[in-house]
A and B are shown apart, each in its own frame.
Chain A
Amino acid sequence: DIQMTQSPSSLSAPVGDRVTITCRASQTISVYLNWYQQKPGKAPELLIFGASSLHGGVPSRFSGSGSGTDFTLTISSLQPEDFATYYCQQTYSSPYTFGRGTRLEIK
């Protein structure tokens, strides 16, 4: 299985800050990398697919980059509704594994 390593596991930042979360794959996955946001008690929601394509309705302050093994999710200016847990997922090969998540908290 392809292992997905996210860092940091948790992060504290104030509203308005620029935040970056990284995800590293244990082998090359091209751009087959998705990012999801999950709020407590809710289902995950797709943010980014194909490493850098914004899912419909997702605010433009979210962006993704990377290819091969190293990927980043950037939030350009944190808003109160962005405090949540973020997961990366590879869909290069089955099983489609997730990172362990990054919990983003208000500072």
Chain B
Amino acid sequence: QVHLQESGPGLVKPSETLSLSCTVSGGSISNSSHYWGWIRQPPGKGLEWIGNIHYSGTAYYNPSLSSRVTISVDTSKNQFSLKVRSVTAADTAVYYCGRDSMNKWLGRQTDFWGQGTLVTVSS
């Protein structure tokens, strides 16, 4: 059973960079069948897809965030990471990491999720 765990600071100051990591256990991040992604949820609101990455380094981003976001992968640690630059209060959210599985005929889906971590942007 794949398990994902987010880690990183719970408080970030405005204009600084939010940095989170996701550690994968119970499976290899280098499995070519999967992408590894980030989704966020502001308090009391809905879900927003941030982006995902393949172990090869190919990454896709939500255009609304792409100018401020970088997702990277470290296969030696079985981890992937998220950086969001120049944060504001609007970036306050629970951040989830997840595993995306692909099916040629049925599309992609996030079939395993981390528990989520709340990041608050405040001075």
Contact B46 A101 (CB under 8 A): yes
Decide yes or no whether B108 CB sits under 8 A from chain A.
Answer: yes
Give the segment of B8-16, B56-64, B72-80, B81-89 that binds chain A. B56-64
**In the complex, per-residue mask of B91-119: 1 if CB is within 8 Å of any chain A CB, else 0:** 00000100000010111111101111000
Interfacial chain A residues near B105, Cβ < 8 Å: 31, 50
Contact B49 A98 (CB under 8 A): yes
Contact B49 A97 (CB under 8 A): yes
Q: Which residue of B lies closest to A85 (CB)?
A: B46
Q: Number of A residues contacting the other chain (C-beta, 8 Å)?
A: 29
Contact B47 A50 (CB under 8 A): no
Q: Which residue of A lies closest to B103 (CB)?
A: A50
Q: Which residue of A lies closest to B111 (CB)?
A: A46
Q: How many A-B contacts at CB < 8 Å in the complex?
A: 67
Assembled-state Cα–Cα distance A39/B108 (Å): 22
Assembled-state Cα–Cα distance A94/B108 (Å): 11
Interfacial chain A residues near B47, Cβ < 8 Å: 36, 44, 87, 89, 98, 101
Interfacial chain B residues near A101, Cβ < 8 Å: 46-47
Decide yes or no whether A34 CB sits under 8 A from chain B.
Answer: yes
Contact B114 A49 (CB under 8 A): no
Contact B46 A98 (CB under 8 A): yes
Contact A91 B46 (CB under 8 A): no
Assembled-state Cα–Cα distance A101/B42 (Å): 13
Assembled-state Cα–Cα distance A99/B47 (Å): 8
Residues of B within 8 A of A (CB): 46-49, 60, 62-64, 96, 103, 105-111, 113-116
In the complex, 15 of the A-B residue pairs with CB atoms within 8 angstroms, ordered by the A residue number, are A31-B106, A32-B106, A33-B107, A34-B110, A42-B115, A43-B114, A49-B109, A87-B46, A89-B47, A91-B108, A94-B62, A98-B46, A98-B48, A99-B46, A101-B47
A32-B106, A50-B109 are known contacts; what are 18 more A-B pairs with Cβ within 8 Å?
A30-B107, A31-B106, A32-B107, A36-B110, A43-B114, A43-B116, A46-B110, A50-B106, A55-B109, A92-B107, A94-B60, A95-B62, A95-B63, A96-B49, A97-B49, A98-B47, A98-B48, A98-B49
